[in-house]
Amino acid sequence: MFSWTYWKSIFTPPATPCKKFQLSYSDKQRYEMEERPDAQKQILVDIARKLPIFTRAQSGAIRFCDRCQVLKPDRCHHCSVCETCVLKMDHHCPWVNNCVGFSNYKLFLLFLAYSMLYCIFIAATVFQYFLKFWVGDLPNGPAKFHILFLMFVALMFFVSLMFLFSYHCWLVAKNRSTLEAFSAPVFVSGPDRNGFDVGLRRNLQQVFGENKRMWFIPVFTGQGNGHYFPLRSQNSESHSSLLANEDMWEESDDGSEEGSLVEDVDPSVTIEMED
């Protein structure tokens, strides 16, 4: 399980915004050819009006990635290492050389959990020989170095992983990412660290899914598609269809968009370029 979760954490690609949030060729041409800033802002406002975007930049503007040419969904951030926008980005982890986000956050948590269990297993199997070494009953030889190395390294990694795993369990319980823990997400009403906190049970289900038997298996079982997340300040039942219905993100055969993801967006919002 340790090897499986480690493999999945490394090779699961980070989820990126779908085409609904990207500027189409015609919109990009229209945006680049327009010289008036107000007209450029209005072009992006018209695009954002049909999207479920509720977070804002620190200045209160709609978040737009100039590098990826996408309107950022809620909890999406641009990773300078992966050079792409990542849905519900938590952090870029050098231990797995991958971005930890919506598509692999559960896998990363399981990797930490099974790593802790692996360290406990190693320490438990070596402990009896460590006691023999401590009382002087272990014969001289290279095994002494092996026992000391395994014991201390296993305990050292266990303590480090325990703090990291405990911190991420707290984040899951609060429905926050590492980035949101350091910088609160900004909504129309202002910054709110608990903006996505919808209760402990539903917070766990967003990451692990409703089937508890699948919680400890390193396969994706989370809810939604990473583009929309229920808000604490809104009635969850009225927005459950947005979270569950994946057909609304698909395009029809003729390339036209089916339906509107958000009925009403304040046309007075502004647009700000963000890296």
Residue with tokens 């994946």: 246
Counting Cβ atoms within 10 Å, is residue 81 exposed (0-12), middle (13-18) or buried (19+)?
exposed
Cα atoms in the 13 Å half-sphere on the side-chain side of 49: 12
Report the SS3 class of residue 186: strand
**What does the alpha-carbon distance between residue 72 and residue 87 come to, in Å, rounded to a whole number?**
9
> What number of other Cβ atoms are within 10 A of residue 126's Cβ?
20
Among residues 262, 235, 154, 243, which one has the least CA distance to residue 205?
A: 243
Whether 93 is a known active-site residue: answer yes
CB atoms under 10 Å from CB of 72, counted, come to: 21
* Residue among 18, 79, 82, 93 flagged as catalytic: 93
Q: Answer whether 102's CB lies under 8 Å from 222's CB.
A: yes
Show which residues are catalytic: 93
